[in-house]
Amino acid sequence: MGHHDPERQKNIRRTILDKLERAEPYALPEPSLQVETNAQLRPPMAQAEFDDALLYLQSHGFIANMPDDFDQDLNKWLITEAGKTLLRK
């Protein structure tokens, strides 16, 4: 349940975008983004929900991935102009 609820998916995506916009001009490391997003959601996201939301947002150009210079395995995320536009809708 929850995983395929379109309203919840929208809420998760919007929360992620909001967190990334607040972090600007910095990119947020994925673990921090997940913790901050979960702090606002009830019930907290399943890992699959978070992964799906990132994939959706990235594939639609709303967020961009930025590799970490010191840790190749750490994903960092930034909001794009398209993401900011979506957030204002």
Q: Angle at Cα 50 formed by Cα 30 and Cα 59, nearest 5°?
A: 85
Q: Judge whether residue 85 has pLDDT over 90.
A: yes
Q: How many C-beta atoms lie closer than 10 Å to residue 76's C-beta?
A: 20
Q: Angle at Cα 85 formed by Cα 30 and Cα 55, nearest 5°?
A: 35
Residue type at 14 in one-letter notation: R
| pTM score, whole prediction | 0.91
Beta-strand pair 63-67/75-79: antiparallel
Q: How many CA atoms lie within 13 A of 8 on its CB side?
A: 15
Domains of the chain with CATH codes: 6-88 (1.10.10.10)
pLDDT digits (tens, 9 = 90+) for 7-44: 999 999 999 999 999 999 999 999 999 999 999 999 99
